[in-house]
């Protein structure tokens, strides 16, 4: 008897199947490069229009590597530029020092020349601007070579960076020391060249420190401290020996007071300015041997200079045991010439127009002095 299935009975239950993600297909062949197909019922095709050449991939790789080192190149370029600027400044000062020429000082009258010609402008007999010129030249050269990845003598980039850091560290420490000398030994005197050199040195130092980063700089801190101690010890030794030789030479000096004739003639405006300065109680402090004091009087001329309230700080001459005049000591005079106008202390030679402006000379007459 044949068997059969009753269709009226319960339908056959098939096991429930889990929904599966559409399979992913890949194709081979150059025409299907970078393509994939997803789905069963509906195909989704995503292709690149053309195969990417190998040189394009190499260009992206080199671009990424160059972008990672762009900060280093930028730091090296800054070092080269600032070092070159410092080299030009110190070369100019070296020329003035070697030729005994007067320095043009945009701020502070004749104070730049006084500082340049002082005993503190020499370290163990070598002019300080010459040392600075060598230091700035080294930094500028290293910056250019590191930026171009072409260091000489087989020096590696890491060694070049370390040399650059040591150089800028020594320059920053030296500048800090000189600023201390300027504030203590030349109080009230302004030197634009000194301040500019200090600004360049500190900028170079911070640029190189930032280029090293927080991870690398702790390894070089010990070396930086050794360099800083060496620089301070060298400068202190040089200036202590200089002070001893200066005091010995001053002990042998015996200058008798003398008067130097003023050869220039005064114009009416110079005479009026001198009378105005006298009326407001302005004083000019100087010394009989001071060449800058003589040049200041020459600006006024013979007649006008006689009207100035001039205070001689060494009326009894200059030799061992002679002290500065009490009036000059009370005014805390440390250089010549020094003007005290309306309570304001001005050091160095001043143009007549500057004196007119500070003293409140009449505006119409002041315009004619320029």
User: Could you read off the pLDDT of 11-70 as tens digits, one per residue?
Assistant: 444 444 444 444 454 444 544 444 444 444 444 444 444 555 545 444 444 444 444 344
Work out the pLDDT band at 364, boundaries 50, 70, 90.
low
When mean pLDDT is compared across 79-83, 149-153, 273-277, 333-337, the lowest value belongs to 149-153
Give the pLDDT of residue 165: 92
Closest CA to 172 of 215, 125, 224: 224
Give the pLDDT of residue 202: 95
Under 8 Å between Cβ of 168 and 86: no
Q: Which helix (H) or strand (E) holds 90?
A: helix 70-99
Q: What is the pTM of this model?
A: 0.52
Under 8 Å between Cβ of 112 and 347: no
Q: Which helix (H) or strand (E) holds 198?
A: helix 192-251
Give the pLDDT of residue 115: 80
From the CB of residue 170, how many other CB atoms can be counted at a distance below 10 Å? 19
pLDDT per position as a tens digit, 91-143: 999 998 888 777 776 654 456 777 887 888 889 889 999 999 999 999 999 99
Q: Which two tokens stand for residue 47?
A: 């292709």
* 356: pLDDT strictly greater than 70: yes
């Amino acid at each position: 008897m044949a068997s059969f299935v009753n269709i009226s009975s319960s339908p056959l239950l098939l096991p429930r199947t889990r929904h599966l993600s559409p399979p992913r297909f890949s194709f081979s062949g150059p025409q299907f490069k970078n393509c994939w197909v997803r789905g069963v019922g509906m195909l989704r095709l995503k292709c690149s229009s053309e195969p990417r050449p190998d040189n394009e991939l190499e260009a992206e790789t080199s671009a990424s590597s160059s972008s990672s080192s762009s900060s280093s190149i930028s730091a090296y370029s800054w070092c080269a530029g600032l070092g070159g600027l410092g080299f030009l400044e110190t070369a100019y000062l070296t020329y003035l020092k070697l030729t005994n020429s007067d320095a043009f000082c945009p701020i502070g009258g004749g104070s730049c020349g006084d500082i340049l010609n002082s005993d503190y402008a020499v370290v163990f007999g070598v002019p300080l601007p010459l040392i600075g010129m060598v230091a700035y030249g080294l930094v500028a050269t290293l910056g250019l070579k590191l930026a171009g990845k072409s260091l000489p003598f087989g020096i590696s980039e890491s060694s070049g960076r370390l040399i650059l850091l040591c150089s800028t560290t020594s320059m920053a420490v030296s500048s800090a020391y000189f600023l201390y000398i300027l504030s203590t030994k030349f109080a009230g005197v302004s030197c634009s060249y000194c301040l500019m050199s200090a600004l360049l040195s500190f900028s170079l130092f911070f640029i190189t420190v930032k280029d090293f980063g927080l991870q690398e700089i702790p390894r070089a801190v010990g070396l930086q401290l050794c360099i800083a101690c060496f620089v301070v010890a060298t400068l202190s030794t040089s200036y202590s020996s200089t002070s001893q030789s200066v005091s010995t030479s001053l002990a042998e000096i015996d200058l008798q007071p003398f008067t130097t004739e003023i050869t220039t003639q005064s114009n009416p405006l110079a005479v009026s300015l001198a009378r105005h300065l006298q009326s407001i109680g302005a004083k000019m402090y100087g010394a009989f041997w001071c060449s800058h004091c003589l040049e200041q009087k020459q600006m006024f001329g013979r007649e006008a200079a006689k009207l100035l309230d001039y205070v001689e700080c060494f009326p009894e001459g200059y030799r061992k045991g002679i002290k500065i005049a009490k009036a000059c000591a009370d005014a805390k005079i440390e250089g010549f010439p020094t003007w005290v106008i309306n309570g304001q202390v001005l050091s160095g030679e001043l143009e007549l127009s500057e004196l007119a402006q500070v003293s409140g000379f009449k505006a119409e007459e002041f315009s004619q002095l320029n």
